[in-house]
Amino acid sequence: MSYLVVTDAAKQFGPSFMALNGVSLSVERGEFFTLLGPSGCGKTTLLRAIAGFNDLTSGEITLDGSNLRVVPPHQRDIGMVFQDYAVFPHLSVFDNVAFGLKPRKVPAAQIKTRVTQALEAVRLGAMAERLPAAMSGGQQQRIGLARAMVINPRLLLMDEPLSNLDAKLRIELREEIRDIQKQVDIATIYVTHDQEEALAISDRICVMNSGKIEQIGTPQEIYGNPQTRFVAEFVGTLNIFQPGAALDAMLGKLGLAHAGAATWAVRPEHLDLAGPDSDGNGSATLPGTVSKYTYLGREAHVQVETPAGRLVVQLPNPGMAATREAGEAVSVLVPRTAPMSFSANGARMGG
Amino acid sequence: MAMPRFNFWTVVMILTWVLLFVLLFIPVGSVLISSLYDQSGNFTFANYLKFLGEPRFRQAFLNTLVVGFGGLFGALLLGSIMAFCVSRFAIRGGRFVSLLAILALVSPPFIGAYSWIVLFGAGGVVRGFLRDLGISMPPIYGVGGILIVFSLKFYPYVYLMVSGALSNVNRSLEEAAEGLGLTPLQRTFRISFPMVFPALTASGLLALIHAIADFGTPRLLGRGYNVLATEAFTLYSAEVGSNMSMATTISVVLIVVSMVFVLLQRYMSRRNVYHGNMINKPARIQLKGWRNVLAHFAVYFIGLCGALPVIISVIYSFRKTSGPVFQQGFALQSYERILFNLGDVVRNSLTFSFVAVALIVMIGTVVGVLVARRTNLNTALLDGAFMVPYVMPGIVIGIAFIAAFNTGPIVLTGTAAIIILSIFIRRLPYTVRTTASSLRQISPSMEEAAISLGYSPFQAFLRITVPLIVPGIIAGGMLSFVTAINELSSSLVLYVGSTMTMPVRIYLLILDGDFGVAAALSTILLLLSGCAVYIAFRFMGRNEQALL
């Protein structure tokens, strides 16, 4: 049996709003598991139910085989890292981290070594005696992390811990969180709405939408083989083809056909550009004109108006001279493996 | 798991309602009922008809509105001039000016009125001096004097609130207006003025509410210019033919008038509050030449006039006296007389205030937690019920307590308890509200973090939330102490010989013409208030707005 098991979790707010609607998932020992979804999708509600701050309306949560729902939150032994850091402003950095060791009756000498170790791990060793009020957001969240880890919890929960930090720090700190988690080997559930963060940090990702699970899988599975249109659009970007004769001709040339496919889509990085009269070399071609060119340094986005709708083509390593002018005639190359099809209810079809 | 806490808070909830019923609804109800019965106990609207019919009462009603709106406009005029100058121009000694405003704010009640009599009354020092120079000016009595005193007494409300709002106007807004081609004058009226308008109206109405509740000033300066508060007191305290049912009728009218303006004030202070991001703070302009002189003169003139009563009473407290008559030179006679004759009055004031503040802090904090943390219909009602003491002028609370606790199951008249409880119920809402609002500012994740680390919810509250709100609670307690020790109007109705407090004694001394001792007592009051304000500022940072 898995380490943490959530079965049929439901949470109702008010007379009719279902924040969670039949959510089941399992997390293994030592696994870094991410709940990913837009705001209001129920990911935080699920996390808080596991922490014990809100109970479920119905469903089961077991940790290591025992029912978690009957245990009051302060006896669950689950560490939590908060979006707003929740660092205690009236306690020094050291006392913040030592706070959870006191109710565990850890001897003073051991508190000292464990706190010092935890602070070294988050690179705050030199700041132990300072008050957190004047410290930066990144430093405060390191305190939060050390404080949650030092108690050797059975489970570590993180509720959008990086969302209040600036972009560069976010990447730096997420790498550290990943490294530390692997070192201490504590099963971790991480909540975020940032798909790139989820891909970078997770062993497995659970994509949620309006209280339900869309897909659970490794980052590669989630990005490379999305099982619903929602997942494909939320993780990464997606061009949706406009239905019509041009689309049908393209699919015919590629030999693709799925009965009942409501939507065809393609990721920008799977497309390429060729000259206006290219034959495509095994790929289908769509003639079109450039309507916008966006240079982003390591890549460039070319927006092309084609008979099958407006498509964005992502070009890697754009050279200085590769600029496309608006109005330029081009062909968009669509490889046979690139298009994805979805049924009317959003489920992925075929292969 | 939540059961014991649930029980605890339910008990708190029930006790709070009991408290409100006994100390608030029953007294106010007694006032209302008493106003509906005649002397012989028959139900009647006669009192209200009499109120409408008798010119004396109609005049008092009109006068109340006159002093209320007069106080409003006077305070607005002085306060906004001062706020504008201090927050927009470089004024030397800005902190000293703020101190003058605080002095005016915490000065003992009606001592202002008397100091102005000393200077500009019939035998006033300044009037006498001017008469020697051949300039004759009318004495300060009557409505004009009341309005001058109110303007100078209540301008700090406007000054503190408006200067707060002015320094919150993002300078980028004015720069944007400048970029769009507005002249400085247009800028002021079309950008800055709308931004501070809510603060102006809210603080002006606050001045009005205090003005219509004020008893001491019209009593001493009015000389026949009666307002509702003084009429109620006269009817209540008349040696012969004390007319309790008419006094309660006037109290009801005063409650209604006050309630209208309190609701209006709360409405105004809630809407149209602009929160600027404070990236671009307004700068103070260094004025040159006569403009600079004029700005400094305006600020210091208002500040010093407002603080003048305090300065006068400190000086007069050290003047040599022979009986009640001042002599040339300085001496400590007035203080000696307090030490030997009035020790019990000082002791009473200190004991009553400390007991009231201790009760306010303990009960107010627990109820504040209840209101902030257990949000449901019941706590929302409770929060609303705590509005009621806001609208109760002190004199009405006094009369209401007499009406409720003179006979019946609980008899408290003549005890210290009745004075302590009257202070308690009036100031309790402030503590409940400040506790609730400071709790709402603490992120709930703070306690959740402690819970996830292994502390029970109660332990988490005790170890995390309490330490974070204690400085605010102590500061609030100190400010309650200032109001408690300066409380006159309800104590004046409730005191007996053995429970006399300093403000009551000062009032009686002034009526007896013994200004030396009154000034000395006022100075002691001021010193105590000053200490309390200082301690409060130490705990929460210098925050003049908290005094409002």
Same domain, B140 and B258: yes
Same domain, B36 and B78: no
Average pLDDT over residues B170-185: 79
What tokens appear for A16 in the block? Answer: 């009719």
Nearest-CA neighbor of B354 among B269, B424, B432, B457? Answer: B424
d(CA A214, nearest CA chain B) in Å: 29
- Which runs of consecutive H residues, i.e. helices, occur in B442-514? 444-452, 457-460, 466-486, 489-494, 502-511
Lowest mean pLDDT among A59-73, A121-135, B203-217, B258-272: B258-272
Look at A151 and B455 and tell me if their CB atoms are within 8 Å: no
Residue that is last in its domain, among A178, A210, A234:
A234
Most confident of A337-346, B45-54, B107-116: A337-346
Q: For chain B, what percentages of helix, strand and coil (3-state, to nearest 5) are there? A: 75, 5, 20
Percentage of chain B exceeding pLDDT 70: 93
Residue that is last in its domain, among B311, B332, B354:
B311
CB atoms within 10 A of CB A144: 27
Residue that is last in its domain, among A234, A269, A294:
A234
Average pLDDT over residues B398-411: 83
Please, which pLDDT band fits residue B471 given cuts at 50, 70 and 90?
confident
Q: Which chain A residues touch B455 with a CB distance below 8 Å?
A: 74, 103
Look at the block and give the residue holding tokens 């509105």: B65
Residue A274, pLDDT > 90, answer: no
The DSSP line for A58-84 is EEEEEETTEESTTS-GGGS-EEEE-TT
Same domain, A177 and A299: no
Please, which pLDDT band fits residue B109 given cuts at 50, 70 and 90?
low
User: What pLDDT shows up at residue B128?
Assistant: 80
Write down the mean pLDDT value for chain A: 92
Look at A90 and B453 and tell me if their CB atoms are within 8 Å: no
Residue B40, pLDDT > 80, answer: no
d(CA B242, CA B161): 42
Same domain, B212 and B225: yes
User: What pLDDT shows up at residue A202?
Assistant: 96
The DSSP line for A127-161 is GTTS-GGGS-HHHHHHHHHHHHHTT--SEEEEEST
Q: Residue A129 is part of which domain span?
A: 4-234
Tell me which of A68, A74, A95, A141 to substitute to probe the interface with B (most B C-beta atoms closer than 10 Å).
Answer: A74
The CATH number assigned to the domain holding B105 equals 1.10.3720.10
The reply to whether B445 touches chain A by the CB within 8 Å rule is yes
Residue B88, pLDDT > 70, answer: yes
Please, which pLDDT band fits residue B3 given cuts at 50, 70 and 90?
very low
d(CA A336, CA B142): 97
Q: Report how far Cα B413 is from the mean position of its chain's Cα atoms.
A: 25
d(CA B495, CA B477): 24
d(CA B120, CA B100): 21
Same domain, B526 and B445: yes
Residue B1, pLDDT > 50, answer: no
Q: Which chain A residues touch B451 with a CB distance below 8 Å?
A: 52-53, 73-74
Same domain, A207 and A281: no
The reply to whether B455 touches chain A by the CB within 8 Å rule is yes
Same domain, B33 and B172: no
Look at B448 and A88 and tell me if their CB atoms are within 8 Å: no
Same domain, A244 and A148: no
- With beta carbons less than 8 A apart as the criterion, state whether B365 and B473 touch: yes
Tell me which of A312 and B443 has the higher pLDDT.
A312
Look at A86 and B443 and tell me if their CB atoms are within 8 Å: yes
Same domain, B53 and B39: no
Same domain, B286 and B407: no
Same domain, B134 and B232: yes
Query: What are the distances in angstroms from CA B131 to CA B36, B117, B118, B125, B142?
Result: 53, 16, 15, 10, 20
Please, which pLDDT band fits residue B97 given cuts at 50, 70 and 90?
confident
Percentage of chain B exceeding pLDDT 90: 17
Same domain, A270 and A126: no
Task: Return the C-alpha torsion angle A99, A104, A107, A113, nearest 10.
Answer: -50
d(CA A164, CA A170): 9
User: What pLDDT shows up at residue B167?
Assistant: 77
Residue B283 buriedness (CB in 10 A; 0-12 / 13-18 / 19+): exposed
Same domain, A169 and A280: no
The CATH number assigned to the domain holding A268 equals 2.40.50.140
Residue A90 buriedness (CB in 10 A; 0-12 / 13-18 / 19+): middle
Same domain, A322 and A179: no
Domain count of the fold of chain B: 2
Q: Which residue of B has its CA nearest to A79?
A: B452
Average pLDDT over residues A112-116: 95
User: What pLDDT shows up at residue B47?
Assistant: 81
Nearest-CA neighbor of B303 among B471, B175, B156? Answer: B156
Residue B2, pLDDT > 50, answer: no
Tell me which of A185 and B194 has the higher pLDDT.
A185
Angle subtended at Cα B358 by Cα B356 and Cα B363, rounded to the nearest 5 degrees: 95
Nearest-CA neighbor of B38 among B246, B237, B240, B232? Answer: B246
Q: Which chain B residues touch A68 with a CB distance below 8 Å?
A: none
User: What pLDDT shows up at residue B4?
Assistant: 46
Domain count of the fold of chain A: 2
CB atoms within 10 A of CB A34: 27
Instruction: Tell me the count of A-B CB pairs closer than 8 A.
Output: 64
Same domain, B233 and B326: no
d(CA B371, CA B446): 19
Residue B276, pLDDT > 60, answer: no
User: What pLDDT shows up at residue B368?
Assistant: 86
d(CA B404, CA A118): 64
Residue that is last in its domain, among A234, A268, A303:
A234
Same domain, A174 and A304: no
Write down the mean pLDDT value for chain B: 84
- B527: Cβ contacts below 8 Å, ≥ 6 apart: none
Task: Return the C-alpha torsion angle B245, B249, B252, B253, nearest 10.
Answer: -160
Same domain, B80 and B92: yes
Same domain, A309 and A190: no
User: What pLDDT shows up at residue B547?
Assistant: 66
Q: Which chain B residues touch A74 with a CB distance below 8 Å?
A: 451-457, 459-460
Global ipTM: 0.86
Lowest mean pLDDT among A58-67, A262-271, B267-276: B267-276
pLDDT digits (tens, 9 = 90+) for B60-69: 999 999 999 9
Same domain, A53 and A182: yes
Residue A218, pLDDT > 90, answer: yes
Look at B453 and A53 and tell me if their CB atoms are within 8 Å: no
pLDDT digits (tens, 9 = 90+) for B216-266: 888 888 888 889 888 888 888 876 666 777 888 888 888 888 888 888 877
* Residues of chain A contacting B, Cβ within 8 Å: 51-53, 72-80, 82-84, 86, 88-90, 99-100, 103-104, 144, 147-148, 151, 157
Average pLDDT over residues B398-427: 86
Lowest mean pLDDT among A117-126, B19-28, B120-129: B120-129
What tokens appear for B389 in the block? Answer: 């003491």
Same domain, B400 and B437: yes
d(CA A243, nearest CA chain B) in Å: 47
Same domain, B304 and B333: no
A310 bridge partner residues: A305
Q: Which residue of A has its CA nearest to B447?
A: A86
Residue B282, pLDDT > 70, answer: no
The reply to whether B3 touches chain A by the CB within 8 Å rule is no
Query: What are the distances in angstroms from CA A102 to CA A91, A112, A151, B63, B522?
Result: 14, 11, 10, 66, 52
In this complex, the residue of A86, A89, A99 whose CB is nearest that of residue B445 is: A86
Residue that is last in its domain, among B263, B296, B311:
B311
Same domain, A225 and A265: no
User: What pLDDT shows up at residue B421?
Assistant: 92
Please, which pLDDT band fits residue A4 given cuts at 50, 70 and 90?
very high
In this complex, the residue of A72, A82, A104 whose CB is nearest that of residue B445 is: A82
User: What pLDDT shows up at residue B334?
Assistant: 82
Residue that is last in its domain, among B291, B311, B331:
B311
Strands (E), B204-250: none
Residue B548 buriedness (CB in 10 A; 0-12 / 13-18 / 19+): middle
- With beta carbons less than 8 A apart as the criterion, state whether A267 and A237 touch: yes
State the first-to-last Cα distance of chain B, in angstroms, to the nearest integer: 42
pLDDT digits (tens, 9 = 90+) for B305-324: 998 888 888 888 888 877 77
Please, which pLDDT band fits residue B5 given cuts at 50, 70 and 90?
very low
The CATH number assigned to the domain holding A172 equals 3.40.50.300
- B375: Cβ contacts below 8 Å, ≥ 6 apart: none
User: What pLDDT shows up at residue B545?
Assistant: 65
User: What pLDDT shows up at residue A72?
Assistant: 92
d(CA B99, CA B96): 5
Backbone torsions φ then ψ of A217, nearest 5 degrees:
180, 175
Same domain, A32 and A144: yes
Q: Which amino acid is residue B58, in one-letter code?
A: R
HSE at residue B355, side-chain half, CA atoms within 13 A, is 14
Q: Residue B107 is part of which domain span?
A: 45-311
d(CA B230, CA B60): 9
